[in-house]
Amino acid sequence: MLTVSEILKVVFLGVVEGVTEWLPISSTGHMLLVDEFIKMDMSDAFKEMFFVVIQLGAILAVVLLFWKKMWPFRAGEKGMAAIRRDVFAIWFKVVIACIPGAVVTLLFDDYIEAHLHTPAVISAALIVYGAAFIIIEGREQKSVRAARLEEITCKTALYIGLFQVLSIIPGTSRSGATIIGALLIGVSRVAAAEFTFFLAVPVMFGLSAIKMLKFGFDFTSAELVVLLVGMVTAFAVSVLVIRFLMRYIQKHDFKIFGWYRIVLGVILLAYFALA
């Protein structure tokens, strides 16, 4: 039977997921680290699945906020649906960007989970990619390859997809890896963030499906409540965080997130070295 304290733990994890999924500071890294200090009274198999599937709540927030940009149909004549070619073009580029990550995940996901889901790896990744954000944002910006989402080409999408492969290492951040890659090749901050949102939809639905198939669908009532509470919390928090992020990057760069990653990574390395 679930206790109030267990529900509060799940709500806290949902808040962490909602905040860290969209800010480039690593949701998986934060979730695994939080679990070091706030243990859920659930099996290891369920927690492994939970830390991925809870992200569906965050993804639904993206679908809600960007529905008009993401839905590829519009009302046509005589009630028939008309295709929005520009939106289909974006989704085609998203598919291209998904291919490298899908291949690497299918090949190495089990190995990564068995060997790299450690505090040391997470801390190191936080620091390395934090420094990358600061360096990239500190360089002189030359020509912009894509100022708007629609200007991202298939070639640019593939490059971004290759950078997304880096996010398989916990602590890297899926959004962080794709944004770093996009900035490096000349995509604007707003376009990089929006493409990251598009890219997250198939990626996270795919990863969640894989994890649920591995776990099975024979949930206990307590497990089902935990999963739903976590997803609903992540959804509500994600709506607020996405709105904040899109306003923030119109006037600011990503350096603050880089510094946050470095400070957190150093603190964690020191903590686990002394523990």
- Measured at the CA of 210, the angle between CA 205 and CA 212, to 5 degrees, comes to 90
H/E run at residue 83: strand 81-83
CA distance 94 to 174: 14
> What pLDDT, on a 0 to 100 scale, did the predictor assign at position 80?
58
Q: What is the pLDDT of residue 77?
A: 61
Per-residue tokens: 58: 């965050």
Distance CA 9, CA 11 (A): 5
Angle ∠(59,64,70) on CA atoms, nearest 5? 85
Other Cβ atoms less than 10 A from the Cβ of 179: the count is 25
As a whole number, mean pLDDT of residues 82-107 equals: 90
pLDDT tens profile 158-208? 999 999 999 888 889 889 999 999 999 999 999 999 999 999 999 888 888
Domain that holds residue 210: 4-274
Nearest to 196 by CA among 54, 59, 88, 50: 59
At 12, the pLDDT band (50, 70, 90 cuts) reads: very high
Instruction: Please give the tally of structural domains in the chain.
Output: 1
pLDDT at 217: 83
Geometric angle at alpha carbon 46, from 40 and 52, rounded to 5°: 95
Q: What is the pLDDT of residues 63-94, one digit of tens each?
A: 999 998 998 887 766 655 678 889 999 999 99
Under 8 Å between Cβ of 144 and 189: no
